Structures are given as structure tokens and as C-alpha cells.
């Protein structure tokens, strides 16, 4: 008995420490602390934060199956670069494949202009290196820029392996560095031979971004564009070069735009509904089980704190259905308690002492709790689709729901059994 | 289990109502399934519905529905491409300079077929996984079969009820409904397993007692728990359906119908089927 009570004390201490750390994780932003600390923020999905979601069908007819997977990877990273170029670093770009059908999904939270988003992703940026042609003096006066640089070096964005910014040690001017891949290195060497002391213009989407003079033959696949750059314009050019051309063409099949105000309304309504429901559940538990119900409610509060902390720490991206999953899981969280309390009542009716009845109740109900929750976990896992199986849904909405449901079940097993049991043991001792 | 004829009648009525409604009225698929566009806009000058639909006629886009609500309009129309969207934006800006948009979605119908396929594979996979789990856990296929049949019973009635709700109240089938169906699968089995667990436990103690008596005792012992647990879930979902706003209303209602069915079927469908199978065995 003595041994048991020290164990209970230890467990209660663990619970208190856990609650305390959860409270620290959940300190709201409007509380000003004497030291610099910010609790990890809750992450909201597109439907709550507002933003744009686009789905593209990828045209893979021009490519053989061997090169498909690197091409898809390159497409994804190019689109990512394009989106990031516009300062939208929160964007989420992913490809999904099913049989012969390949899709690109771009989610950009917080932007309110669908047309602009479509424009900046859909543009078929093409990088070209064009050599200067020698025109007669008469022709030069009327020639357009494209006429002057009409000799294609056959180097394109796909030959560029990287672009970066460096500072010239002699002039302290920023420069843009180009690094070519193997094939690009050869082509570039040839081009610099051909156009030595002439200009090579670099076009992005048929728009000339720079036209440096070739000062020497370059055979190591590294080129430096120097000019009137400040660090900002050098960075932006390098980013544009990195974004390059798309290796595969894409076709827009789904657009979604959600205003941020709708999301805020939904969050507020969800919180209100959750609180009212929670109040009813607490009332119901106390009405039905008295003191036991009160302990279960304490467990429910611990449950809420732990789940919220996990949302912040993992972090879980909260969506509309995710909020519903959370609210639903609150209703399910007391299930273990109800099972246990009903068992306890039975044992009490059989004439057992309160404390014995409690321990028996927990012990006997455990089998049912375990089996029943395993079933819910199985379904939640199928919904969550952790391995990204293509014959199941990959929808962010469905997964958002599944993840809160799954977390809810796991946490409720802990609070419903471990937390309430130890709280009840304390209560039993005071009797 | 004296109530078995009553349960059978209730279930038969629900199933026939579902079949009737599905064949007579079908479903209201959302753009998730059927493809198309949904657009929520604000036009503070509050033009008439005719003015709005004229724009769609001039753009040759077939408008499916238009619901104005004091300067706020929800429009549903066919799937459109980017150029058509830009044209619409221009037209509406001309109609009302303060035109603003809250939400726009457009989906090609091919995505809908895919969603349907994925839903069916998820239901099959869940049923199979749960059947295997229960069969193993109870070391008796009869338990697995009855639990899964009860689960399919719930799923079918839930789908049927949304055909009815769609006909009378405009409930739509969308991705969230699919999620609700799959959640119902687990909720249904959840309650059934608790009841079955008790039957197994009682059978352990009194091996000679007849299955019917075991079942009676198990149901009466677990009924309070099942109903109480449903109550807590119903509280949460009901407040969500009433206070949670339009976006999640039908989702909450679908989950609610599923939760009630799950509890009902655990004693009214799963147990009678189990008894029927056991009777055949002996």
C-alpha cells in the first residue's frame, strides 16, 4: 500500500509537470512576459488562413518513363523557386502521381490575388543564351534587340546547374555566378570561343536580363556576370536564373481561392461551438457521475491542453475539418471514462469497496477500451494515408481531419486512463 | 433480444427509405464530384439577379445557380479556364466598381471520378482491415462478419439519408461527406466491439449459457455506456451543426447521423446477426 501511494504521488507529479509545460507552450500572444519567449504558433491551413490553391495536370507525353521522375522533381523545384521569388515562402508545392496521370499542386496561403498567382506559376519561363550577330552598320540602326542577338548558342535553363551571388574581391561589386552542368560546360566553352570579345545576351522569357561581353574562353563551366549590380538586383537576377525554365508543360485544372475573412469567421464559430459542446459534456458528466464526472472533466482539461500543445509542437496544420475532428475527439475522449465508471458502478453494486471497485473498473474496462480504439485508429490511419498511397485520398482536408482525430484518440487514451486513474487514487485516499 | 422484430422493422424501413430515395431522387453532388465552379462575390451596389446572369449569358458560361444575399452572391457554374475567369472579373468590375471576391473554386469533372474511386477503395480497405482485426481479436469469424455487416448497414443508411437530406434541404455530397462516411465506419465498429467484448467476457465465465442469454445480459450491461457516450458526442456535434457555420454544418450532421446509427446498430443489428450466425452454427 505504501509502495502504491508513493507511485501515485510520483504519477501526480508527472501529470502536474506535464500540465505546467503544456501551459507554457500555450501562453497566448497577448500575455507579455518579462523575458523573451513566444509559444510556437498554431499553423492554419489554407481554408482557415485564406489563400490560393492550384492544381495542374502535367503533360508527360514528351518524356520517356526513365527520365520522368527527375523531370517531375525538377519541375517541382522550379515552381518552388518561382513562387519563392515573389516572397511567398510559405507556399507548399507538391506533385502527386496516379497511374499515368501526374499532378502538380501549389498552395499559397495569405495571398488574395488568384490571377497573379496563376500568372506567376503558369508563365513558361525560358532561359536562353543568344550570341551577338555581326550586322552591317545600316542594319544596326533599325535592328531590334532580338535581331542583334539572333544566334542561338543552344544553351538553355536546363544546362544551368546553379546560380549564386558573390562579391568581386577587387572591385567589391556584387556579381552573379553561373555554374553549368557537363553538357552546358561544353556548349558554353564553344559559345565563348565563338563570341570572344562580343556579347552574349541572356533572355528570360524572351526578355533580355543581361548582355555581358565575353572576355575570355571559359572551359570550367563557371561564368561570372559583372555589371552595375547592387546586392538586391544581383540576388534577384540569380533567383530568376535559378528558376529557369520548366522541364514539362503544365495545364491548370483546378483553382481555389479563399478569402481570409471566411476563415476567421469559421475559426470563431468553431471555437464557440466547441465551448458550448464542452460545457454540455462537462455538465452531463457531473450530472451522471457526480464526483467521478468532475475528475473526468479535469482529465478532459488536461486532454485539451496536451492536444493543443501537440498541435503547436508537431506542428499540425489546422483546417476546417481538422477543427471538427478536434471537437469530435473531445466528445470521444470521455468515452474511456464512461466505460470505466459504468464498470465501477457494477462492481459497487456487487458490494465491492469503493477503491477496489475503482481498480477493478479500470482493469476490466481496459480490454474494451483498447479494442474499440484500435478500430478507430485503423480508420483514422486509412484516412490519413501516411504512405501517400495513390488509390486513397491525398486531400489536405481529409488528412487534416484524420490527423486531429488520430492525435485525439491517442491523447484521450492517456488522459482517460492514466490521468483520471491517478486523480481518482488521490480521491480514494482522502475518503 | 425480445425486441429483435422491432429492430428488424426499423432497419428495414430505413434501408427501404434509403433505396427509394437514392433511386427516386439521387444525390446532389458538389463540384468535388461533378466538377464545376463555385464563386462567392460581393457587389455592394446590389444588382439584380438578371443583371448578373446576363453577364454569364454574354460570356457563354452556363450558370447553374445564383443565390443573392444583400449584396453577397454565391454563384455556381460550369468548369472554366483562366481566360474565362479574367473575362468574368472584368465584366463584374464594370458592373460594380467595388466588386470583391471571397472564394473561387473551379474543378474539372475528371477529379470527381477520381474522388469516387478513392472513396470506394477507402471503404473497401477499411472494411477489410476492421474485419480482419475483429476476427483475430475474437478468434471467431462470426464476430467479424456481424460487426462488418452492421457497419455496412450504417454506411448505407447514412448515404441514403443524404439522398433524402439533399432532396429536401439541399445537402451536397462532397469530400467532407466522404470523410464522415469513413468516420462512421469506425464509430460503428467502436460501439459494436464494446458490446462484443462483454459477450466474450460473459461467455468465458458461463460457458454453458445460451448465446441469446449472453447477448441479452451483455447488451443490457453495455447499453448505458453506449448511450452515454453517444450523448457526449451528440452534444459536441449538435453544437457544431447549430453554431459552427455553413462550411461544416452538413459535415457535422453527417457525423451526427453516423454516431447515432453506430450506437443503434451495435445492439440492434450486430448482436442479432451474431445470434443468427451462432444459431446456424449449432
Count of the separate structural domains present in chain B: 2
Residues of chain B positioned with their CB less than 8 A from the CB of A375:
130, 133-134, 186, 189-190, 193
Q: What is the pLDDT of residues A159-207, one digit of tens each?
A: 777 777 888 888 888 888 888 888 888 888 888 888 888 888 877 666 6
- Cβ contacts below 8 Å, chain A against chain B, sum to 209
Q: What is the pLDDT of residues B148-157, one digit of tens each?
A: 999 999 999 9
Starting at the edge strand found earlier in the chain, the sheet holding A222-225 runs A160-167, A174-180, A222-225
Residues of chain B positioned with their CB less than 8 A from the CB of A297:
none
Under DSSP, the state recorded for B266 is I
How close, in Å, is residue B68 to chain A by CA atoms? 17
Specify whether the CB–CB gap between A306 and A18 falls below 8 A.
yes
The answer to whether the CB atoms of A331 and B244 lie below 8 A apart is no
Determine the average pLDDT of the residues in A408-427. Answer: 87
HSE at residue A91, side-chain half, CA atoms within 13 A, is 28
Lowest average pLDDT, out of A36-45, B3-12, B124-133, B253-262, goes to: A36-45
The answer to whether the CB atoms of B103 and A258 lie below 8 A apart is yes
Same domain, B165 and B263: yes
The domain of B275 spans 4-31+110-281
φ, ψ (nearest 5 deg) of residue A37: -150, 135
In a mutational test of the A interface, the residue from B239, B242, B249 whose CB has the highest number of chain A CBs within 10 Å is B239
**Cβ-Cβ contacts under 8 Å for B108 (sequence gap 6 or more):** A253, A254, B35, B79
**Cβ-Cβ contacts under 8 Å for B50 (sequence gap 6 or more):** none
Q: Which of A98, A266, A331 sits opposite B247 (nearest CB)?
A: A266
The answer to whether the CB atoms of A277 and B235 lie below 8 A apart is yes
Q: Which chain B residue has its CA at the smallest distance from A371's CA?
A: B193
| Number of C-beta neighbours around residue A90 at 10 A | 15
Residue A123, helix vs strand vs coil: coil
The answer to whether the CB atoms of B239 and A335 lie below 8 A apart is no
What is the CATH code for A127-243?
Answer: 3.30.1360.200
Same domain, B68 and B117: no
Q: What is the pLDDT of residues B79-133, one digit of tens each?
A: 887 778 888 888 888 888 888 887 888 877 777 777 788 888 888 888 899 889 8
pTM above 0.90, yes or no: no
> B260 falls in which pLDDT band (50, 70, 90)?
very high
Count Cβ atoms within 10 A of the Cβ of residue A92 and give its class: 0-12 exposed, 13-18 middle, 19 or more buried: middle
Same domain, B156 and B205: yes
Determine the average pLDDT of the residues in A327-350. Answer: 85
- Burial profile A23-34: b = 16 or more Cβ within 10 angstroms, e = fewer: eebbeeeeeeee
Q: Which chain B residue has its CA at the smallest distance from A401's CA?
A: B179
Domain with CATH 1.20.1640.10 in chain A: 2-44+259-430
Residues of chain A positioned with their CB less than 8 A from the CB of B245:
265-266, 269-270
Q: Which chain B residue has its CA at the smallest distance from A394's CA?
A: B118
Q: Which chain A residue has its CA at the smallest distance from B177's CA?
A: A398
| pLDDT of res. B72 | 84
ipTM: 0.81
Q: Which of B136, B275, B137 is nearest to B197 (CA)?
A: B137
Q: Which of A72-86, A322-336, B2-16, B261-275 has the highest mean pLDDT?
A: B261-275
Q: What is the pLDDT of residues A277-300, one digit of tens each?
A: 889 999 999 998 888 899 889 988
Answer positive or negative: Cα dihedral of B72, B77, B82, B85: negative
Q: What is the pLDDT of residues A130-139, one digit of tens each?
A: 888 776 666 6
Determine the average pLDDT of the residues in B253-263. Answer: 92
Same domain, B64 and B114: no
CATH number of domain containing B65: 3.30.70.260
With pLDDT > 90 as the criterion, what percentage of chain A qualifies?
5
Of B106, B138, B164, at which residue does a domain stop? B106
pLDDT surpasses 70 at A1: no
Same domain, B158 and B275: yes
The answer to whether the CB atoms of B236 and A278 lie below 8 A apart is yes
| pLDDT of res. A124 | 47
Domain with CATH 3.30.1360.200 in chain A: 127-243
Same domain, B172 and B239: yes
Q: How far apart are CA B143 and CA B278, in angstroms?
A: 10
* H or E element in which residue B250 lies: helix B246-265
Give the architecture (CATH level 2) of A51-123+249-257: 2-Layer Sandwich (3.30)
Q: What DSSP string runs through B75-89?
A: EEE----HHHHHHHH
Residue pointed to by grid coordinates 468532475: A294
Q: Which of A107, A96, A95 is nearest to A46 (CA)?
A: A107
Of B88, B106, B124, at which residue does a domain stop? B106
If phi > 0 it is left, if psi is from -120 to 50 it is alpha, else beta; for residue A50 that is: left
What is the CATH code for A2-44+259-430?
Answer: 1.20.1640.10
Same domain, B179 and B257: yes
| pLDDT of res. A242 | 66
Q: How far apart are CA A234 and CA A227, in angstroms?
A: 9
| pLDDT of res. B150 | 93
End-to-end CA distance of chain B: give it in Å, rounded. 19
Same domain, B78 and B144: no
Of B50, B78, B106, at which residue does a domain stop? B106
Residues of chain B positioned with their CB less than 8 A from the CB of A338:
225, 228-229, 232
**Cβ-Cβ contacts under 8 Å for A152 (sequence gap 6 or more):** A128, A129, A130, A131
| pLDDT of res. A140 | 62
Same domain, B208 and B69: no
Same domain, B143 and B12: yes
Determine the average pLDDT of the residues in A47-68. Answer: 79
Q: What is the 3-state secondary structure (H, E, C) of B90-107?
A: HHHHHHCCCCEEEEEEEE
Same domain, B153 and B89: no
Q: What is the pLDDT of residues A222-261, one digit of tens each?
A: 877 776 777 777 776 776 666 665 667 777 787 878 777 7
Strand A127-131 to A151-156 pairing:
antiparallel
pLDDT surpasses 60 at A125: no
Q: Which of B30, B14, B273 is nearest to B166 (CA)?
A: B30
Residues of chain B positioned with their CB less than 8 A from the CB of A346:
221
Q: Which chain B residue has its CA at the smallest distance from A380's CA?
A: B183
pLDDT surpasses 80 at B241: yes
Same domain, B194 and B227: yes
How close, in Å, is residue B1 to chain A by CA atoms? 21
Q: Which of B121, B179, B242 sits opposite A398 (nearest CB)?
A: B179
| pLDDT of res. B159 | 92
Amino acid at each position: 500500500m505504501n509502495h502504491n501511494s508513493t507511485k501515485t504521488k510520483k504519477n501526480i507529479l508527472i501529470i502536474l509537470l506535464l500540465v505546467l509545460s503544456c501551459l507554457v507552450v500555450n501562453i497566448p500572444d497577448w500575455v507579455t512576459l518579462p523575458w523573451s519567449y513566444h509559444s510556437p504558433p498554431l499553423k492554419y491551413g489554407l481554408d482557415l488562413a485564406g489563400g490560393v490553391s492550384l492544381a495542374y495536370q502535367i503533360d508527360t507525353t514528351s518524356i520517356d518513363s526513365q527520365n520522368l521522375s527527375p523531370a517531375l522533381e525538377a519541375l517541382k523545384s522550379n515552381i518552388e523557386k518561382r513562387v519563392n521569388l515573389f516572397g511567398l515562402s510559405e507556399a507548399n508545392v507538391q506533385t502527386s502521381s496516379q497511374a499515368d496521370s501526374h499532378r502538380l499542386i501549389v498552395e499559397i496561403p495569405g495571398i488574395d490575388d488568384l490571377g497573379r498567382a496563376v500568372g506567376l506559376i503558369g508563365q513558361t519561363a525560358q532561359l536562353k543564351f543568344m550570341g551577338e550577330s555581326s550586322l552591317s552598320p545600316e542594319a544596326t540602326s533599325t535592328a531590334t534587340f532580338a535581331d542583334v542577338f539572333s544566334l542561338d548558342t543552344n544553351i538553355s535553363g536546363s544546362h544551368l546547374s546553379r546560380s549564386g551571388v558573390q562579391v568581386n574581391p577587387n572591385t567589391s561589386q556584387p556579381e552573379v555566378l553561373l555554374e553549368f552542368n557537363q553538357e552546358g560546360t561544353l556548349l558554353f566553352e564553344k559559345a565563348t570561343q565563338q563570341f570572344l570579345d562580343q556579347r552574349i545576351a541572356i533572355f528570360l522569357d524572351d526578355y533580355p536580363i543581361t548582355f555581358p561581353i565575353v572576355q575570355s574562353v571559359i572551359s570550367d563551366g563557371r561564368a561570372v556576370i559583372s555589371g552595375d549590380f547592387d546586392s538586391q538586383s544581383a540576388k534577384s537576377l540569380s533567383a530568376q536564373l535559378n528558376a529557369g525554365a520548366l522541364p514539362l508543360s503544365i495545364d491548370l485544372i483546378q483553382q481555389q481561392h479563399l478569402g481570409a475573412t471566411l476563415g476567421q469567421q469559421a475559426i470563431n464559430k468553431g471555437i464557440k461551438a466547441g465551448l458550448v459542446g464542452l460545457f454540455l459534456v462537462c455538465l452531463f458528466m457531473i450530472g451522471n457521475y457526480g464526483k467521478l464526472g468532475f475528475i473526468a472533466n479535469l482529465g478532459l482539461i488536461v486532454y485539451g491542453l496536451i492536444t493543443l500543445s501537440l498541435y503547436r509542437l508537431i506542428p499540425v496544420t489546422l483546417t476546417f475539418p481538422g477543427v471538427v475532428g478536434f471537437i469530435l475527439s473531445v466528445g470521444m475522449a470521455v468515452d474511456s471514462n464512461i466505460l470505466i465508471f459504468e464498470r465501477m458502478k457494477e462492481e459497487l453494486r456487487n458490494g465491492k469497496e469503493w477503491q477496489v471497485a475503482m481498480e477493478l473498473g479500470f482493469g476490466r474496462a481496459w480490454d474494451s477500451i483498447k479494442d474499440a480504439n484500435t478500430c478507430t485508429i485503423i480508420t483514422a490511419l486509412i484516412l490519413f494515408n501516411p504512405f501517400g498511397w495513390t488509390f486513397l485520398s491525398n486531400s489536405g482536408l481529409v488528412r487534416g481531419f484524420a490527423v486531429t482525430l488520430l492525435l485525439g484518440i491517442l491523447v484521450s487514451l492517456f488522459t482517460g486512463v492514466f490521468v483520471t486513474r491517478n486523480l481518482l487514487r488521490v480521491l480514494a485516499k482522502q475518503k | 433480444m425480445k425486441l429483435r422484430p422491432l429492430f428488424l422493422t426499423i432497419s428495414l424501413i430505413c434501408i427501404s427509405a434509403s433505396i427509394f430515395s437514392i433511386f427516386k431522387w439521387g444525390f446532389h453532388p458538389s463540384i468535388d464530384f461533378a466538377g464545376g465552379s463555385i464563386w462567392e462575390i460581393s457587389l455592394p451596389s446590389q444588382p439584380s439577379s438578371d443583371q448578373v446572369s446576363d453577364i454569364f449569358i454574354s460570356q457563354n458560361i452556363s450558370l447553374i445557380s445564383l443565390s443573392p444575399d444583400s449584396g453577397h452572391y454565391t454563384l455556381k457554374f460550369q468548369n472554366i479556364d483562366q481566360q474565362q475567369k479574367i473575362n468574368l472579373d472584368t465584366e463584374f468590375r464594370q458592373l460594380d466598381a467595388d466588386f470583391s471576391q471571397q472564394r473561387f473554386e473551379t474543378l474539372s469533372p475528371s477529379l470527381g471520378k477520381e474522388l469516387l474511386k478513392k472513396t470506394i477503395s477507402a471503404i473497401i480497405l477499411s472494411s477489410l482491415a476492421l474485419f480482419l482485426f475483429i476476427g483475430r481479436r475474437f478468434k471467431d469469424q462470426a464476430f467479424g462478419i456481424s460487426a462488418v455487416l452492421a457497419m455496412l448497414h450504417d454506411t448505407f443508411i447514412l448515404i441514403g439519408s443524404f439522398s433524402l437530406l439533399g432532396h429536401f434541404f439541399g445537402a451536397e455530397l462532397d469530400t467532407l461527406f466522404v470523410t464522415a462516411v469513413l468516420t462512421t465506419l469506425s464509430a460503428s465498429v467502436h460501439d459494436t466491439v464494446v458490446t462484443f467484448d462483454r459477450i466474450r467476457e460473459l461467455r468465458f465465465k458461463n460457458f454453458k449459457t445460451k448465446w441469446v442469454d449472453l447477448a441479452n445480459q451483455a447488451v443490457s450491461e453495455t447499453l448505458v455506456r453506449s448511450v452515454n457516450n453517444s450523448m457526449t458526442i451528440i452534444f459536441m456535434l449538435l453544437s457544431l451543426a447549430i453554431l459552427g457555420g455553413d462550411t461544416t454544418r452538413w459535415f457535422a450532421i453527417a457525423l451526427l447521423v453516423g454516431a447515432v446509427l453506430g450506437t443503434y446498430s451495435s445492439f440492434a443489428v450486430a448482436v442479432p446477426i451474431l445470434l443468427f450466425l451462432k444459431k446456424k452454427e449449432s
